[in-house]
Homo-oligomer: A and B are copies of this chain.
Amino acid sequence: MAVIGTGLIGTSVALAAAGQGVSVYLSDRSRAAARTAAALGAGRAEDPPEPVDLAVLAVPPSRIAEVLIAAQERGLARAYTDVASVKTGPERGVLARAPEPSRYVGGHPLAGRERSGPLAARAELFRGRPWALTPHRLTSRAALDRGLELAELCGAAPVVIRSREHDEVVALTSHVPHLLASVMAARLRDGPAGVPLLAGQGLRDVTRIAAGDPRLWSDILRSNAAAMAGVMKELRDDLARVAAALDVLAEEDASAGEDVFAEHHDAGHDQGVRTLEDLLARGVAGLAGLPRPGAGPPVAEAGLRILVPDRPGELARLLGAVAALGIAVDDIAVEAAEESGLRVRVPVPTADAERIGAKLGADGWDRAPAESAPAG
């Protein structure tokens, strides 16, 4: 196998392959980078003596086509793939100008780090991550198979998808989020003195990916500019709406001055609050579509209802008993507060409902009937 470009991703792919006993030939515009990757155990910093099975192009999106064409002209490999996070541009270039477009399948492992360069590489970087493969109309079966083998060699989960669809998805899941993180992080540069004192995990999470290499990311973003445009527009429209709503509410607040009991019930205020709540609610709804990491497929669920006497600590005792049975305490809800105590709903897999109910009963917990209205 040959790897062209020994930055974070290229060197990580090479380390994963070399770790599986594949002999890897490394090259990079920076001789020092290639030698560094080799010294890390990623392979040999030399040209292969004969054509290899697969060449992996680990260069920025805007350079894929030219690098592939040069490699094919010197007959480097029998199949070619890349790891760039934009796929339509490179594909268009390959289809237009490459000597053997059928030998190329686009690829994109969805993994990375904020640090770049070969020293940041990790053989396990791709383990369990999605690895997009974007065969085009001329891609040969053999080339696609080499791409699938590479993804599996790196412990990733291959996802075969059209290049255009891929670019639309990553514009939404990766490129626009990166831009937002950068725009937010840029605000911190000249922030008030108290920022480091009052910065929490939320801010760190929102801005984390903004630490990526600006040169590489500007190449990625401009290579996917067309697909980003639609998302950017909707996003800016929403921001303009909430900014306008906040301006109305800020003015009101000022004019209300010291009258803390002011009812604030004019139309502008109500409209502003509705705009804010609507956006925040749409955000919550949007998150529902994201897979929770480590979450398995949904299972049929029944609700056990337990009556908890409201003596201090009784509910904590139930949570402990439930956790001990391996049930996620996060999903438990208090349905109603009745004379006799709190009616608590414990969601359990339908299959285990009987067993768990019996166990809790044996521990002295009373089952409650399901009727009567939920608590406010």
Residues of A participating in the B interface, judged by any CB pair closer than 8 Å: 30-33, 35-36, 38-41, 43-45, 65-66, 69, 89, 92-93, 95-97, 110-112, 115, 118-120, 129-130, 132, 159, 161, 165-166, 168-170, 172-174, 176-189, 191-192, 194-212, 214-215, 217-218, 221-223, 225-226, 228-229, 231-236, 238-240, 242-243, 246-247, 249-250, 253-254, 257-261, 272-273, 276-277, 279-287, 289-291, 293, 308, 310-316, 319, 330, 332-334, 336-337, 342, 375-376
Q: Which of B112, B118, B191, B276 contacts A221 (CB 8 A)?
A: B276
Contact between A206 and B205, CB atoms less than 8 A apart:
yes
Q: Assembly of this chain: how many copies?
A: 2
Within the complex, the shortest CB–CB distance from A207 to chain B, in Å, comes to 6
List of B residues within 8 angstroms of A277 by Cβ: 214-215, 218
Known A198-B132, A199-B291: A276·B222 in contact at CB below 8 Å: yes
Contact between B182 and A283, CB atoms less than 8 A apart:
yes
Contact between A250 and B236, CB atoms less than 8 A apart:
no
Within the complex, the shortest CB–CB distance from A94 to chain B, in Å, comes to 8
Q: Which of B174, B183, B261 contacts A66 (CB 8 A)?
A: B261
Contact between A207 and B169, CB atoms less than 8 A apart:
no
List of B residues within 8 angstroms of A337 by Cβ: 31-32, 35-36
List of B residues within 8 angstroms of A243 by Cβ: 229, 232-233, 236
Closest B residue by C-beta to A186: B282
List of B residues within 8 angstroms of A233 by Cβ: 243
List of B residues within 8 angstroms of A195 by Cβ: 169, 172-173, 289-290
Q: List 16 A-B contacts (CB under 8 A).
A: A32-B336, A39-B312, A39-B342, A40-B316, A110-B200, A172-B188, A179-B239, A180-B184, A189-B285, A196-B289, A196-B291, A207-B286, A215-B277, A222-B246, A222-B273, A233-B243
Closest B residue by C-beta to A98: B260
Q: Which of B43, B170, B209, B285 contacts A206 (CB 8 A)?
A: B209
Within the complex, the shortest CB–CB distance from A113 to chain B, in Å, comes to 10
Within the complex, the shortest CB–CB distance from A322 to chain B, in Å, comes to 11
Contact between B222 and A187, CB atoms less than 8 A apart:
no
Contact between A279 and B39, CB atoms less than 8 A apart:
no
Beyond the given pairs A97-B260, A184-B235, A185-B287, 14 more chain A to chain B contacts, judged by CB atoms under 8 angstroms and listed by A's residue number, are A32-B342, A35-B342, A41-B313, A110-B198, A111-B200, A120-B330, A165-B192, A168-B194, A173-B195, A182-B283, A205-B209, A221-B246, A225-B250, A236-B240
Q: Which of B33, B170, B201, B312 contacts A198 (CB 8 A)?
A: B170
Contact between A284 and B199, CB atoms less than 8 A apart:
no
Complex Cα distance, B6 from A153, in Å, reads: 52
Contact between B41 and A283, CB atoms less than 8 A apart:
no
Contact between B183 and A165, CB atoms less than 8 A apart:
no
Contact between A173 and B185, CB atoms less than 8 A apart:
no
6 closest A-B pairs (Cβ-Cβ)?
Answer: A182-B283, A93-B260, A32-B375, A39-B315, A96-B258, A214-B280
Complex Cα distance, B187 from A33, in Å, reads: 39
